[in-house]
Amino acid sequence: MRHVRIGKDVKIADALTFMASDRAHVEEAWPGDIIGLHNHGTIQIGDTFTQGENMRFTGIPHFAPELFKRVRLTDPLRMKALQKGLQQLSEEGATQVFMPLDNNDLILGAVGTLQFDVVAHRLKQEYKVDCIYEGVNVQTARWIECDDPKMLEDFKRKASANLAIDGGGHLTYIAPTRVNLQMTQERWPDIRFNHTREH
């Protein structure tokens, strides 16, 4: 089977079909079948598997989060486990992670408060990471695009205090207020501030 996003042929072992609490191994699947695959960090939302074709589907968006929290470790020696956990939870869509350009903070973004509870529970249970979650001065986020590389570099230099890289490696503007976002958009009309981005 071909994993289109990474461009490699992969062998899927232990694929499952499931209905309610019933599980069964499956050797063959057809378009439209829903199967379960064990994932060890290689499969992301929106990935396509084919019999060799390079098909790619679009239209599965990340929405700009509306709630934000800074995550701080209680034990700094667990940073590697925290980063691994946040990367995997971000790939699964449980949360969005933003790493500001100007500091070492880790900021979580969500569209609902329950997402923070899920992330906290899973980090503690699956990755053995205890964290403190605190408010952060961010009201909204927008993904940045610009057709002019020079202008983008100038923007990055001048707005670095409000820029971050998300879990997918995309440049993001994290605004402390909606007024700040609006003023920045007016100052930089050739920069696109996207409310969504595709997986």
Tell me how many domains the chain contains: 2
Provide mean pLDDT across the span 27-56. 79
Q: Is 144 in the same domain as 108?
A: yes
- 98 CB-near residues (< 8 Å, 6+ apart): 68, 106, 107, 108, 109, 141, 164, 165, 166, 167, 172, 174
Q: Say which CATH number the domain at 66 has.
A: 3.30.70.3280
Q: Is 94 in the same domain as 163?
A: yes
Instruction: Reduce the DSSP state of residue 149 to 3 states and report it.
Output: helix
Assign 2 a pLDDT band (cuts: 50, 70, 90): confident
Pairing of strands 131-135, 163-166: unpaired
Rounded to whole angstroms, the Cα distance separating 181 from 174 reads 8
**Residue with tokens 């990474």, as numbered in its chain:** 6
Provide mean pLDDT across the span 2-13. 85
Q: Is 102 in the same domain as 149?
A: yes
For residue 139, give its domain range.
62-198
pLDDT at 183: 98
pLDDT at 59: 67
**Domain limit, last residue, from 32, 57, 82:** 57
Rounded to whole angstroms, the Cα distance separating 162 from 2 reads 39
Q: Is 28 in the same domain as 1?
A: yes
Q: Is 51 in the same domain as 73?
A: no
Q: Is 129 in the same domain as 167?
A: yes
Q: Is 100 in the same domain as 51?
A: no
Q: How far is residue 35 from each of residues 29, 32, 42, 45, 93, measured CA to CA in Å?
A: 8, 9, 16, 14, 18
Tens-digit pLDDT profile for residues 91-122: 888 899 999 999 999 999 999 999 999 999 99
Q: Is 53 in the same domain as 106?
A: no
